[in-house]
Structures are given as structure tokens and as C-alpha cells.
Structure 1
């Protein structure tokens, strides 16, 4: 279905002078089926903002203000999903913390799944212990240093990251600064994959409050069971993160040292009881790839090395990766470092490799390990409108059995993308509030370097705004106007990991939003999901720059809407400035009253003597290409004529 973007703008005076009387500037996440709106009330002469997060407590709002500005939207989004009691609990942790811990504690509250933060067996002091040990261990290690940029008392965009010493492939000793996102997500974040994120009993792996309950960061770095060396003993003499050597454990910095330590304290054999808790895995000192795949990134993060678990469900295996300018393969149990060639085709035909982030987000990394194909799945409703927020599940692997191997959520275009290994066959299933599609064969014996596409239509219907243009009064006022500037900072994909139920958020591209201005009656109809009218509206945009003069004294509502999304949100920044016309000023007399002359661009011919102005009074110098809008023409005799170039354009 083609969407129509219609623009209506009415400006009443070229010559009026305006005084700024109020303004707002905000960045926020608008959830699915949500909105942000601003009310203008003539007698009050102010702009009142209504956010999705008005359910936040005062303490929670104060914590958001104290957090780094780049983190504030995510922190507000996570806090609003908690009870008021939990909001105040975590807000107090942020407000009572001191530099340099504020950003780390704020990040954890913003990006640990709400169901974990709300759980009775989660102990909030873990967030403080986690960052305390992070800085304490940092002071002992020679190959890494935490760098803090700015602080809450003097800056709003303060952050931390890590600086490493490495030896490059050419043998040069270098210092490498890691991106801050890598530091927060893959060193600081206290959850690795499907383990319970809390203090646990080292013998049973069950939640247990401290001091008997242990959290993996400090425990793995300092503790040593009888007969085993502590990790710190292996790392304190090390001077480099790694020396860029493939499969070398003898002279390969901290990566080599950790590989050797793991092989010293762990055996490869099936456990009597499967566990996902790093502390318990260390205590039992044995396991298969599952246990090794969880313990390795916990040990690496304890040593301030970014690391993830890489899962290959379709091949029943997992390994790890560490980050140094890019992600590198790592599997200590097999003494593999930066070796991507052994899995496929030596061991099996890889279906998909996926990296697991602490909040539950997954992304495919298949292309690093095998010849691969790409897949785009498109999901539509029954009227062929794209469906956002649908979970797309892929099954594949060695035949005749297809295993679950990857999942992703659709964006605003109804699309989800994957990289998959060649030679395998793949099935696809769709899960959405608008309907489900069972597993269906979509690829038969995939070929490398091939792009596959498939489409599904669900039985339900996407929501749509029923909006019509409103008419202006015959004698509009010219007292107040607003200037509006807005920019999408990204579409937010909300999802849930199918393995452990963690709720995640992930930004993807520039998301679109709708914008309109309506009076009270029509705004009320909009809230009741009825047909309504707007004096100005535009749909499916990712930025907006416009101005608007209020035609009457009644209240008006400026609405940034995300109503036509059922799963995904929008990270939106906007500013609105309110102006009042200075008293005693009048329009210059012109030869035409009312709404002006409506013309198409093809009908307009400007004389050489004519001067053309936009509604802000700026002269238009290039008369050959004037976009649609409202303009004033000053002819040679000094008379002023208003024309309105009006058009509709399709998206």
C-alpha cells in the first residue's frame, strides 16, 4: 500500500516580529503504539510536555538526569518497566554513587533485563560490587587501563572505556583504545548468556545472598580452590592483551595466559549436572563446550577483556570470541586462538554462528567461519503492510534434522536479515501478535554467495492512523507560533531471547515517526482511536523542520506519534520554540486577503523585477527551483501578493 505524506502549513504574516517566550528540548524513546505530545494553551503561554515516562518517580527522573546524556533514554525506558518501589531502589543506587562509578551503575540499570532487576533473588548490591572489582582489578593489571572521560559534576556526556597494550601482526607494540560500547557491553555487563544473574551458591549454583553467595568477577580473579592456582597469578606478570599470534598459548599475552589457566583448572568431560553458573562451573572443574563457553568469557571479563559466547545451536556446539579492534575466535579447550578455519568443513557444515549479548540480543557471525549465504525475511499483514516486531526463527543444520539456529525481530519495513552457512537447508517460522506461521522450508541446500528472500503474510491487520486535513478559520489570529525541529536517533527493536526470556532493545537505522497538530476536539478523537483532523500533519518521516502559527485561542496539541508500530519504538530528539508576536506590529498592506492564491509549480512565472520571500522574510534568490510552500511576491509597484504552492507527493 502506498502511503501519502501530506504537508499543510499556514503562515499569516511576513512582516511580524516575534519574541521567544518558551522552549523545550528533549530526547526520549517512544514505545510501540505510543506518543509524545506537547500542549499549547493560549492563556498560559507555555508548552507542556507529556512523555511516555511520566510514570517515573521523582527519584527515577533525578537518576536519569544524573546519568550520562547518551544513556538517559535507555535508562528511562528500563526504569519505567519497573514498579515504583524498584524504580526508587535503583535510582538511589545511581544518586548515591560517586565518580567514577556513576556511568557503570547507570549502564547496568539501563541494560539488565527488567525481569532480572525485579526478581526477588536479585541483590542490587551486585551492581556496586561488580564495578568496584572492575576498578580494583584494573589497578593490578599492566596490559589494560580504564580511562574515564569527564565526570557528572562537569559534563553530561561522560563515559569510560579501556586502553590496551598489544603486539601487532608486524611485531610493533601498540596502545589501542576500545570503543566505549565494547567496554560497557562486553566487560562491565554482569550477564554473559543464560546464567542466572545474581549471587549463587558455588556448589549448587542456586541463588544465595552474600556473603555466602558469590558473584563471578571477584571470585574468579582472586579465589583458588585447593590444588589450583589463582587466575591473578597467571595475569599479573603479563604486559600485553595478546601478541596477535594464531593458536599460540606460550607467548600470547593475557589471551594465552587465560587459555593456559583454564586448561589447568578445567577438564573436558560431561558434568554430572549441567550448569550455566560461572562460579559453579569453576567449582566442579569440568564440563563440555557449554560449560567452557560460559566460564571463558566470565574469566576474560574478570580480567578486563571483552568477550562473548558464540553459539552454533544447529551444530550443537559453542565457543567464544574476544575483541581487539575486531572480534577474534577463541576456544581454550582446543587451544584455538583466532582460528576460524577448523569448524567448517573439518568438523561439520556450520548452520549459523550467533553472538550473545548480556541483555539477550543476538546477532549472526556466520560469515567469519564458513562460506555463507544471506537471507532477508519480510513479514506483512493481510493488507500487505509491513509488520514490525515479529520474531523470525530459523532452523537448519545437518540433515535430516533441522535444529533451531538463529532468530531476529523485524524492523519497520517488516524485514529481518541473517547470514547462514552454505550446503544446509533451512526452515522459517514467524511469531507475532498478528498471527503465527509454522516452520516452513525456505532454502534447499543453500549456495554460498547467494542472497535469498522470502515473504509471509499474517492474518491480522496493522494499526493505521485515520487522519484528514483540517480547515483554517476565515479570520485567523497571528499571536503565537512554534518552530519545530526533530530528528530520529534510531528505530528501537524490542525483543525477547527465546532461551532465557531476557528482554532486550537494539537500535537499527533511522526509524520513522508521524507528526501532527490538532485542536482539543480532534486530539480527543485521536486518543479514542477515531477519525480525526489535523491542521498540519506528515507521516513516515525521520526528521522535521517546520513552523506553525496557531490560528485561534483554543489549546493545541503537537504530537510525535508511533501509533502504527506494534513492536518497535523510536529514539527521538526534538526541540520546540514558542514565540509571541510583539504588540503594535501590523502586516503590510497587500492586494489579496484570505488564504492566498493556490498554484502548482508549473503555473508560476516570476518576472525579473519580482522579489520573492519565504514566510520568515528571507529573500529567495534562485527562482528556477522553488519547493512547495507559502511565499510572498513583492512586485515592482511595491504591492505584495501571497501565493501558496501546494502539492501532494507519494512515498
Structure 2
């Protein structure tokens, strides 16, 4: 009875969502050849400033060694573990060690999934599991995710990876409204086409009995000099741009040819099977066009290739000029046999993927044109018979392009403006919360003047964990934008901000905005060094933040996932009391913190006998989830019985012995030693050799000393973030060490 009730609930929800998608399909029209209208909205003028380009993808590695680490100690490894975890926004991952019990633990924030979902993840290839987990956890109802998992568990070889990829890379709201048999049939049709095409061969590496396996494709290509070469594409290109059932803004489903609405088979058909195996009277059958086609593409002049074959078929089945109906479903476009560039782009993309050509839809909204690109070691411009001539729109057609982007099947769009415009500029957008901290996960909608009047969408972007996004735009255009994100929208009334008027070629425009709300604060402060630290155990942590996943919706209301590199995460050490304070959102005193780190190597000598934690935190993130992988080793200090006679005391040297913490953002301690009495001057310099601050200038007796620095210059002002030099001078000696300050 429970199974029956679950099935009824599933069918009810899917029916409601399918009805909504059917209504949406009726209302949607082609992306060009129309006059899309957006209601007039208020415009605020806040011009961007021309300046230096922002570093939006700066990799940050941190090395740390405890200041009480004794180089003469011997250590033995007593425990080890590894982790690879996507940390949910606002949460944390921790590794803990209790010196009393010598127990090492990893505190994993991973959301628990159902047994069915976990079984599907286990059956999927290893490289796909984190993506599949991420999509499953985003389902509103677990039983709907279970229904997707069952499709993976029931898929036969060699289609398991293809089915799993589709489930992992279609938005959950879209998945719930699809006919589930489409996942397997879509994969099967690819293998059917492969058996009929001479220029391509699917390459299966392993199968579902292996831990990791994947599929890709190998092509015959003619080089410009006439040589024939074999080219194998990356698996990402195969899965996203051959397999994926969604081309641009259409809904991926079976379509009833007579009206273009979603319909269950046998009344509904999918474009991959329909266009390959069906021909209306008087039109050529696509599957019969490739008999003499032995090459994907001839870069120079040469024999007939697959690109030319698809162009010929599209020209035979389509007539230029759209009627009153502007469909976006390839099946319906074929039935009508006419259209403008929007319909041509959609049916060319479908025919390309049917013929196992990696194909995308390319869009330039504001200047009212769309076309395609295909992949052959790079993305190649493809607009019917015009191939690899991306500058023709500006140089031959006389257009000045505002922005150009490509579609991905999960709703993400990526900017390719620089491929189609000889002159372009960059708009760097920085978003902060009310406390001045970066605001992540903000969708940036950029609009420009539309060919038909008013303004329309030009392109989109999303801020990373540093609150920054960089957008390439055309020159000699005006641009407006809008922000939408977890702290609210701006402008709040749904309007736009005018940021660029008459964009200048080569210019870097910087625009920033501070929201009126605050995001969560990390809530930790740098601890004071223990007066007599223990040195019985050491925690060694090595980690890499491989990427950070962000989420958003652009044009077609599909929530995409985009992996941004490098990723960033905050890290610190804390004893049990302060770890509990951190978890309770109370002020905590910690070792570090080391904020916005992409990777790191930490050797932390545990200074007390209580339990200690190494914490990777995403508390300050609202949307972004860092993917962190690493290892943790625990060492025990070995007792030594070496006598003073056997191991004589080494004389002190003139040296900077250490800087802790490094990097720092509050205060750091510089330790130094002297073999004898002399006058010592310690100062901070920037990398240009300019003195920033003097820390001490006096006579010291031989021995070991500490000086502190709070990041201020000699005028009492806080310095900017960056690398500096600590220089220690006497009359005859000098020592230098790098130090990193991060605000």
C-alpha cells in the first residue's frame, strides 16, 4: 500500500509540473525574429569606474608551522585519514583529535541520502558521484530523487554513465516533469547513430563493474595541410554537448508533432529519434545523408564532411521565413519546415548532436541573431554555410555586438563575446554585504539596447565566494545591470542600474555595490599563544579546495550548478571549548584563522591535553559550497634519551626563527635569536623595497626574543593585503623572511 501511495504522489506531482511545462511551451517563442518586450523599469545611474582589472581567480596557498614546533623532536605516525567533502554553504567540516584517547575523527557535514540514492551514486562512475550527490540533495522531496536513482540502478551497460550524467546535470525541477524513460532511450539512440557513422567512434573506457568508467568519441579530421588525424574529445564535451538532451531554452521531453506540446509515447516523439528515422514526404531522411561522409570536418578544402552534410540537410528541410508560430522544439520546427535564425539554430543543434557532433546554440539577443558552434579541439563558429568566420557579424554585417553567450543544458550560459568582437571591454562587479564582506551567489543580469528598441538581456554572471564576477562585453555599447541574491535584490523595486555608457575597447570597468543586509560572520579571533605548550602530539593537515559550486537561474528558470576554480575555504584550529563556542555562534579564540585559502599544509603541534579541531568553514557563504579534499596525519613525539654529552647544545644563531601566524589578519609574532649582544633593527618592507613599519631598533643581549606586529604602518594606518618582507639587521648581519597579510 505504501508503494502504491508513493507512486500516486509521484504521478500527481509530475503531472502538475508537466502541465506547467506544457503551458510554458505554448507561451515560449523563438529567441530571435520577434520583438520581446520587457515592461519599462526605473533606471538608476551609478557609472562604473575605469581602472585596473580585478584578480577574480587568484589561487591562495597557505603553509603553517606551529611556533612551538621543535626541530629536534622525533615523531611517529599513529593515525591517518582522508576526506573529500562538499561543504554546504553556512556549514563546516572538522577533523578532531583527542590526546587522551588518541582517537582521530572526521566530522562530516554531508546531508544523509536515502539508501536508494546512495546505491545509485555507488553504481555511477567515481568522477560523477559528487555531482550526482549534489543534485540528489537539492530535491524537495526525497521520493522524487529515489525515482531518478532507480533509473540509474536499472540501466544496463553500456548506458549507466550516460543515464547517471543526465540525472546529475538536469535541474531537479526539470527532472521531475520529464518522462523518465527518456534518459535511457536518449543514450541508446547515441549508440545506434554511432553504428551508422564512419567518421566517429564511441570509446567506452570500462563499465559499471569498474569503480571509474566513462565514454568519449574519436573523430577523423582533415587538417588544413591535408593530413588526416584522429582526434578524441574530452569526456566533458561528450556528455554535455552530444549526450545532453537539452539544447537551449526548450524543455527536454517527447513532443507531439502536430501541435508541439509534450506528449507521452507513442504519440510524443523525441528529436533524436524522430529527425534521424523520420522524413516527411518530399524531404530527405537524415540517417541516409552520411553514407559517403568519412570526416567530421575538413579544415581546408576537401571531401564532404559531417559539418557540410548537416548544413545540406538543414537547407533541404527548411525554408527561410517564420510564420505566426515560433516553436523552439526541434520536432515542431521540422514539421513546419520554416523559420528564421532561431529555428535554424535549434534544428541545426539537434541535427549536429544526432550526428554525434558536439554542438551548442550561440545567442546574441540584443542584436537579434543566433547561430551555433561545434567542437573540434576548440569551439568553432557555425552559421549554416559560414564556418569559422566569427568576425563576420561585425566586419561584414556591420553589427556592433553587445554580448554573445553559449547555452548549456542545465540552464547555465557562458560568455563568448571575445570570440565575435575584435574590440571588447571587461566589467568587473563586486558585491558586499552591509559589513563589507564579499557577497557570494549573486546573479548579475546585464542588459543593453535592443535592436527593436528598449533594452533586453545581453548576458549573465554569478559572483564567486569573493563576491566578484568578471564579464566580457562589446565596445561602443551601453549597459545596465541588476543584482539578485540571498541578501535581496538591487535595485529593490525591480529596476536597473546604468553602469556603462559608450563602452571603450580594452577598458576594465569596476563597479561595486554594498547590500543593506549582512551575511553570517565567521565569528573567530586569533588566540593568544599558550604560555607553556605541550608538544606530545602533532596534527598534520594537507588540503586542496578543488573548486566551489555556485547555483543560480538565468534565462529559462533552470537552477544550474557551476564549478568555479579555484575554490576558497576558511580554516582554523580550536580547542574543544572554542570549537563548541564556534558551533554555538559564540565568539571563539582560534589558531589562525586562515581565510580564503585554496590549498594548504599545516603542521600544528597540539599545545594542551584536551581535544583539538581543525575546522574548514563555509559559514560566511550564502550559496557557494567549497569542495575540499585532503589528508590528516597524527604524530606522537618519541621520548629521547640522548645525553648532553652525546648531543651538545647548539649555539644560537642570528636568525628570524619563525612568524606565527603567517598569513595573518589581526596580529602576528616574529621570533628571532642572537648569538651575542648587539643592536638590532627589525622593519617591514613591501615588495618594492619601501619601508612600511619599524618594529624595534635597540640593543639586545644574546638570546631568543619576540616582537609583535598588528599590520599597521608607521602612521598607524592598516596596510593593504599582500606579501611583505620582515628584515632584521645588525651591524654585520641580515635576515629576511616573507610574511603575508590578509585583511
Q: How high is the TM-score relative to the length of structure 2?
A: 0.74
Aligned mate of 1:603, from 664, 667, 672? 672
| Cα separation, 1, equivalents of 2:72 and 2:368 | 73
Displacement after TM superposition at 1:146 (Å): 1.2
Deviations 1:505-531 (A, max 9, x none): 222331221112323433332223221
Displacement after TM superposition at 1:85 (Å): 1.8
Task: Tell me the residue number matched to 1:300.
Answer: 352
Aligned mate of 1:267, from 308, 319, 333? 319
* Contact 1:13-1:587 within 8 A present in 2 as well: no
Q: Does 1:36 align with 2:105?
A: no
Task: Tell me the residue number matched to 1:650.
Answer: 741
Task: Tell me the residue number matched to 1:460.
Answer: 517
Superposed CA RMSD in Å reads 3.3
Q: 1:43 to 1:195 in 2, by over 3 A?
A: farther
Task: Tell me the residue number matched to 1:617.
Answer: none
Structure 1: segments with no counterpart, 5+ residues: 592-596, 608-640
Displacement after TM superposition at 1:433 (Å): 2.9
Q: Does 1:482 align with 2:539?
A: yes
Q: 1:375 to 1:480 in 2, by over 3 A?
A: same
Aligned mate of 1:57, from 100, 114, 118? 114
Task: Tell me the residue number matched to 1:414.
Answer: 467
Displacement after TM superposition at 1:427 (Å): 1.8
Give the 3-state SS of the residue equivalent to 1:275 in structure 2: coil
* Contact 1:56-1:87 within 8 A present in 2 as well: no
Give the 3-state SS of the residue equivalent to 1:235 in structure 2: coil
Task: Tell me the residue number matched to 1:374.
Answer: 425
Aligned mate of 1:174, from 229, 232, 239? 229
Q: 1:189 to 1:642 in 2, by over 3 A?
A: farther
Q: 1:126 to 1:517 in 2, by over 3 A?
A: same
| Cα separation, 2, equivalents of 1:88 and 1:587 | 63
* Contact 2:97-2:105 within 8 A present in 1 as well: yes
Stretch deviating more after TM superposition (351-360 or 28-37): 28-37
| Cα separation, 1, equivalents of 2:217 and 2:352 | 14
Give the 3-state SS of the residue equivalent to 2:113 in structure 1: coil
Displacement after TM superposition at 1:252 (Å): 3.9
Q: 1:261 to 1:70 in 2, by over 3 A?
A: same
Q: 1:16 to 1:93 in 2, by over 3 A?
A: farther
Q: 1:45 to 1:211 in 2, by over 3 A?
A: farther
Task: Tell me the residue number matched to 1:127.
Answer: 183
* Contact 2:672-2:706 within 8 A present in 1 as well: no
Task: Tell me the residue number matched to 2:603.
Answer: 547
Task: Tell me the residue number matched to 1:625.
Answer: none
| Cα separation, 1, equivalents of 2:101 and 2:265 | 55
Task: Tell me the residue number matched to 1:404.
Answer: 457
| Cα separation, 2, equivalents of 1:312 and 1:141 | 32
Give the 3-state SS of the residue equivalent to 2:111 in structure 1: coil
Displacement after TM superposition at 1:187 (Å): 0.7
| Cα separation, 1, equivalents of 2:217 and 2:516 | 49
Q: Does 1:106 align with 2:156?
A: no
Give the 3-state SS of the residue equivalent to 2:470 in structure 1: strand
* Contact 1:38-1:47 within 8 A present in 2 as well: yes
| Cα separation, 2, equivalents of 1:210 and 1:93 | 18
* Contact 1:104-1:188 within 8 A present in 2 as well: yes
Stretch deviating more after TM superposition (47-56 or 192-201): 47-56
* Contact 2:581-2:587 within 8 A present in 1 as well: yes
Give the 3-state SS of the residue equivalent to 1:314 in structure 2: coil
Q: 1:588 to 1:138 in 2, by over 3 A?
A: farther
Displacement after TM superposition at 1:11 (Å): 5.3
Deviations 1:534-561 (A, max 9, x none): 2453222111212334455554433211
| Cα separation, 1, equivalents of 2:557 and 2:224 | 41
Task: Tell me the residue number matched to 1:436.
Answer: 490
Give the 3-state SS of the residue equivalent to 1:200 in structure 2: coil
Task: Tell me the residue number matched to 1:190.
Answer: 245
Deviations 1:605-649 (A, max 9, x none): 369xxxxxxxxxxxxxxxxxxxxxxxxxxxxxxxxx998898774
| Cα separation, 2, equivalents of 1:20 and 1:523 | 25
Task: Tell me the residue number matched to 1:244.
Answer: 299
Task: Tell me the residue number matched to 2:149.
Answer: 91
| Cα separation, 2, equivalents of 1:568 and 1:384 | 18
Deviations 1:150-183 (A, max 9, x none): 4454453x32211111112222222112122211
| Cα separation, 2, equivalents of 1:188 and 1:261 | 21
Stretch deviating more after TM superposition (170-179 or 544-553): 544-553
Displacement after TM superposition at 1:197 (Å): 1.7
Q: What is the count of residue pairs matched by the alignment?
A: 601
Task: Tell me the residue number matched to 1:393.
Answer: 445
* Contact 1:310-1:354 within 8 A present in 2 as well: yes
Q: How high is the TM-score relative to the length of structure 1?
A: 0.83
* Contact 2:293-2:304 within 8 A present in 1 as well: no
Task: Tell me the residue number matched to 1:344.
Answer: 394
Q: Does 1:509 align with 2:600?
A: no
Displacement after TM superposition at 1:456 (Å): 2.6
| Cα separation, 1, equivalents of 2:272 and 2:464 | 36
Give the 3-state SS of the residue equivalent to 1:86 in structure 2: helix
Task: Tell me the residue number matched to 1:523.
Answer: 579
Displacement after TM superposition at 1:403 (Å): 2.1
| Cα separation, 1, equivalents of 2:530 and 2:670 | 26
| Cα separation, 2, equivalents of 1:146 and 1:646 | 63
* Contact 2:569-2:595 within 8 A present in 1 as well: yes
Q: 1:485 to 1:99 in 2, by over 3 A?
A: farther
Deviations 1:345-372 (A, max 9, x none): 5253221111111111112212222333
Give the 3-state SS of the residue equivalent to 1:244 in structure 2: coil
1:193-212 equivalences under 5 Å are 193-212=248-267
Stretch deviating more after TM superposition (81-90 or 253-262): 81-90
Stretch deviating more after TM superposition (338-347 or 474-483): 474-483
* Contact 1:526-1:532 within 8 A present in 2 as well: yes
* Contact 2:120-2:153 within 8 A present in 1 as well: yes
* Contact 1:313-1:404 within 8 A present in 2 as well: yes
Q: 1:475 to 1:605 in 2, by over 3 A?
A: closer
Q: 1:455 to 1:54 in 2, by over 3 A?
A: closer
Give the 3-state SS of the residue equivalent to 1:441 in structure 2: strand
* Contact 2:425-2:503 within 8 A present in 1 as well: no
Displacement after TM superposition at 1:495 (Å): 1.9
Give the 3-state SS of the residue equivalent to 2:253 in structure 1: coil
Displacement after TM superposition at 1:196 (Å): 0.9
Aligned mate of 1:145, from 197, 201, 204? 201
Q: 1:374 to 1:27 in 2, by over 3 A?
A: farther
Task: Tell me the residue number matched to 2:277.
Answer: 222
Q: Does 1:76 align with 2:133?
A: yes
Q: Does 1:469 align with 2:533?
A: no
Q: 1:219 to 1:42 in 2, by over 3 A?
A: farther
Stretch deviating more after TM superposition (299-308 or 441-450): 441-450
* Contact 1:523-1:532 within 8 A present in 2 as well: yes
Task: Tell me the residue number matched to 2:630.
Answer: 574
Structure 2: segments with no counterpart, 5+ residues: 1-59, 650-656, 660-668, 677-702, 711-739
Q: 1:127 to 1:42 in 2, by over 3 A?
A: farther
Q: 1:59 to 1:548 in 2, by over 3 A?
A: farther
Q: 1:174 to 1:424 in 2, by over 3 A?
A: same
Q: 1:478 to 1:7 in 2, by over 3 A?
A: closer
* Contact 1:245-1:252 within 8 A present in 2 as well: no
Displacement after TM superposition at 1:315 (Å): 1.4
| Cα separation, 1, equivalents of 2:534 and 2:265 | 67
| Cα separation, 2, equivalents of 1:231 and 1:402 | 39
